[in-house]
Structure 1
Amino acid sequence: MRVITHTSGESMKRVLVFFAEGCEEIEAVTLVDYLRRAGADVISASCSDSLALIGSHGIKLCADTTATRALKETGAFDAVVVPGGMPGAANIAACPEAVSIIEKTRDAGGITAAICAAPVVVFAKLGLLAGKTYTCYPGMEREFPKWAGVDWEKRTAHSVKKEAACWQDGNLVTSEAPGAAEPFALLLVELLCGREAAAAIRKASCLRA
């Protein structure tokens, strides 16, 4: 599959995808892969001191940098993306540098995206779901008290769970599970790189659904 390159004058979108011990491999790698094919500048950032990580199904992953370095050295991002999987999502939520990058991206008007367990485990405590429609792994919406803290009702006020593979509400983009990794990645490609880039990847990947 060919990489979609940007035409003259277009700015390359900068995207950070978090990796962590126990993250869902399909979600993490698909996001990096499709966004790079579309021509985005994608950095994978480890939420530990090591670039080498083991995913939730025992697959070895290697990040480009650490979240600590990304926070200090790489500036602003157009989007940050959080894969799910457990305990991967919990490890990302427990990483102060990852939380800071997510909050800075949100405050700058960038896209904050999460899939599977991550919308609840990572985003709920940060208040990113308040007043928003979203999707997540089935049943995780019942775990707000566990992941969003004692004031979880305030942090998730007026949020509405949708039964959908992917869902966009403004700059919040969420997805359901590993089986939705491709449509989730393509939605982000469309938002960041345009419909033509998403259509070209869909065609070259022989995606018919």
Structure 2
Amino acid sequence: MKEFPPLTMLNIHENLLESLLELQAYADVQAVLAKYDDISLPKSAAICYTAALLKTRTVSDKFSPETASKRGLSTAEINAVEAIHRAVEFNPHVPKYLLEMKSLILPPEYILKRGDSEAIAYAFSHLQHWKQIEGALNLLQCTWEGTFHHVSVYPKRELPLFIHFTAGFCSSTAMIAILTHQFPEIMGIFVKAVSMISRTCLSSGRYLL
């Protein structure tokens, strides 16, 4: 399997990653990732989270949120955190299954990339590998909760002021048009009254100046 060209259509490389992780052959896992974790190839949760797991493995056994907050993150810790960021950006559903906040079930027959079904399939096969590495799930939880827990599901964005103004103006214009169509006489009186008040205000302003 190592010697054959990329067979991404059959996900052969993902099966190989799983087998090597089971053997804890991390150097071989890294070699496979170097071959398949390429920008020109389709990504998957298996590739992204395995890459994060390998980076996490180098620091997770000694990682402490309290210590890191005091002294800052080391270069290796930054690399691990960034790898987790990339993985969660690819599929934000995975951490809840790895952290067992959601119950694992048998993976569905059809897997949707970057969807909940892919998260279930990945966690079902790889949760044990995260548990094998001391502190890996702790670092995943700290990174995920601190960065993604509240923003991964459709984050709300503040709209610019001019969008609110435009929406209000359009709504007011539409309402005036409807009222004019339904009550032309009343709206005619209203328009005359507004015009008179406007002229009075302008005249008062000129007088004051």
TM-score bracket, normalised by the shorter chain, equals under 0.3
Q: TM-score, normalised by structure 1?
A: 0.27
Which of structures 1 and 2 has the larger relative contact order (alpha carbons within 8 angstroms, sep 6+)?
Answer: 1
TM (normalized to structure 2)? 0.27
Larger Rg: 2
Structure (1 or 2) with the greater helix fraction:
2
